[in-house]
Amino acid sequence: MEKVIAAWNLTKEYDGLLAVDHVSFEVNRGEVFGFLGPNGAGKTSTIRMLVGLTEPSEGSASVAGYDIRKEIVEVKRRVGVVPETSNLYDELSVWDNLLFSSRLYHVPKRERAYRIHNLLETFNLEDRRNTKFGKLSKGLKRRVVIAAALVHQPEIVFMDEPTSGLDVVSARSLRRLVGELRAEDTTVFLTTHYIEEADQLSDRVAIIVKGKIVTIDSPEKIKQSIRGVPVIDVLLSHEPEESTVKELEAVGAVERQGRRVRIEVEEVTEAIESLIRIATRSGILIEDIATIRPNLEEAFVNLTGVSSDVMKTEKEGRRS
Amino acid sequence: MLMEELRGVYYILLKDLKAYYFKPPNISWGILFPLVLALAFSLRNPAGLTELAPGLIAMAAVFGTTSMEAIVITFERRTGALERLFLAPISMKSILAGKILGGAVFGAMISGVMTVISMIVFKMRIQSPIWFSISLALTLLTLSSLGSLVAVSVKEVFEAQTLSNYFRFPMIFLCGVFIPVETMPLPLQAIAYLLPLTYSVDALKNTILGTTNLSVLMLDIFILCGFLITLFVFSHKLLKRSVK
């Protein structure tokens, strides 16, 4: 696998405070790499160092094969950045904003109009081409900002909290776009504090807390590493009697809540067969049954000690 | 590489002119400001306007270059739009040069209107048009660099305006716009010679009236170049520090 981003002991200190604390990681070409952590964890500071917006206090990194300390202009040619805020020019039209971006990134003159047309089509912005950026809705602004980051066809796209503050439809279409970029072999470095977003989109996830990377792996492996025991969630036709519960406890640890029973099991298929047998014997109907495997949220809480509620609160706070 | 940098400067200039400077309210202000200035001084002293013209052109340059530019830079910094430029594959020097040129072009429009008014209405004649153009261009670039230094030193738009006035008004009164520097008390003369507008007014006056020899003019131009380089270097340093 070709490494397109490699960071070694990357560190950023602001006024004596370590925002990023000696982080090291590698990102492969064509993968979606999720950088997950609560606000202030060091996600944005890491991106800012990788794209040349701030210098590392210590350590280094190479992006697209170029050293961020010595060859930052070469790095900038090859990356597109979608910042957290939609910071294009309010007074310019959508077309003029994209044209300006294409010019700044040295897109050949003969290709500019063609590429902008394509992007407007991809992002359903054709009818807004002459609308001033400042007059667009939040969701449309986000689309234009992403289009501006792609106009020079970068090898790597850095997206800093791309769905933050977006409505459900816009967020969904943006997630679809990330999938399309991956299909085109574009590397996507995505920071987010939405656990489910990192889970759905990323090939690999790095969890960062207080400037330190806690773990890096695929979402599946991170989940597996936390707890290998699946849980079977059963809704019974009526509350089980004590004798039935005792039988269920032979299958696994039982947690009861009225008609709902949760059992931690070793092996799912065998456990379901046992459950059906016990229920039939006891004259109870199984109205619903589901297997709950550990999710990334649990893994995140387990690994970081940060309550998932903190992330949810941040999410709500940002949406309001 | 150099061509890419120069193109970057040009595109930033075009973008700034379109997004900020050449908006109808700014264009009308750019025409009205020198008109009102000329009218006010001509009513007070109709005969002396030709003598005052170099100072008025310099004054138009001061307000033209610094008024909008400081706002543009601080506004872009506040909205994060300036950071977009830092993400592009061009140097920070080129970004700064593009910004300074924007202010200089707007200043050229206002001081150009002032020059045309002086020539048409008050029959001012420029004795050395080429040297006048060089002196005015250098004045505009230097003052625009001063505007950029002010803008990168502060965070808020209103701070930029206030800080600009600390430079603008002393320059208007001390640098020979209304009163010849030589007639002022010595301490004020000393301050005047530390300000770039003194050399601008001197160069413009001499090229319009044709009252000096080339060596004196060259000295003014040389000093203005020194101010331009110094202000650019300091602006660049402060801008660079802001992304450390």
The complex's ipTM works out to 0.88
Q: pLDDT category, A303, cuts 50, 70, 90?
A: confident
Say whether pLDDT at A165 is over 80: no
For the cut 70, the answer to whether the pLDDT of residue A297 exceeds it is yes
User: What is the tens place of the pLDDT at every residue in A221-266?
Assistant: 887 776 567 788 899 998 888 888 888 888 888 888 889 998 888 8
Task: Tell me, yes or no, if B85 comes closer than 8 A to chain A by beta carbon.
Answer: yes
Give strand pairing partners of A139.
Answer: none
CATH number of A3-225: 3.40.50.300
Q: Name the one residue in this structure whose structure tokens are 């960071």.
A: A7
Tokens of B214: 């080339």
User: What integer is the mean pLDDT of B64-91?
Assistant: 90
pLDDT in tens, B203-233: 999 999 887 678 889 999 999 999 999 999 9
Q: Which residue has the higher pLDDT, B49 or A91?
A: A91
User: Which of the given ranges, A210-214, A296-300, B11-15, has the highest pLDDT on average?
Assistant: B11-15
- Best probe of the A interface among B2, B3, B84, B85, by most A CBs < 10 A, is B84
Kindly report the nearest CA distance between residue B145 and chain A, in angstroms.
22
N residues, chain A: 320
Q: In the structure encoding, which two tokens stand for residue B198, read together? A: 């003194």
Between CA B95 and CA B90 the distance in angstroms is 7
pLDDT value, residue A320: 35
CB within 8 Å of A241: residues ≥ 6 apart = A282
Domain range for B178 is 2-241
Instruction: For residue range A7-23, list pLDDT tens digits in order.
Output: 999 999 998 889 999 99
Chain B residues in contact with A51 by the CB 8 A cut-off are 87
Q: How many domains does chain B have?
A: 1
The Cβ of residue A258 has, within 10 Å, a number of other Cβ atoms equal to 10
Cβ pairs bridging A and B (under 8 Å): 60
pLDDT beyond 70 at A131: yes
Residue A319's pLDDT is: 40
Structure tokens belonging to residue B169: 């008004």
Interface test with A, best of B6, B87, B95 (most A CBs within 10 A): B87
Determine how many CB atoms are found less than 10 A away from the CB of residue A270.
11
B19 to chain A, any CB pair closer than 8 A? The answer is yes
pLDDT score at A124: 87
State whether residue B156 sits within 8 Å of chain A by CB: no
Between helix B129-153 and helix B196-209 the angle, nearest 10°, is 160
B243–A contact, CB cutoff 8 A = yes
Task: Look at residue A224 in the predicted model and tell me its pLDDT.
Answer: 74
Amino acid symbol at B88: A
Q: Which residue has the tokens 């904003």?
A: A97
Domain residue ranges in chain A: 3-225, 229-292
pLDDT at A317 over 70: no
What mean pLDDT comes out for the span B62-87?
90
Buried b (16+ CB within 10 A) or exposed e, A143-158: bbbbbbbbbbebbbbb
pLDDT-derived band at A309 (thresholds 50, 70, 90) equals: low
Mean pLDDT of A56-81: 95
pLDDT band at B123 (very low <50, low <70, confident <90, very high): confident
| A229-292 topology per CATH | Alpha-Beta Plaits (3.30.70)
Asked if A92's CB is within 8 angstroms of B243's CB, the reply is: no
The mean pLDDT value of chain A amounts to 87
- Look at residue A315 in the predicted model and tell me its pLDDT: 47
Q: Does A109 touch chain B (CB under 8 A)?
A: no
CA B149 to CA A313: how far, in whole Å? Answer: 41
Using a CB–CB cutoff of 8 Å, tell me whether A155 touches chain B: no
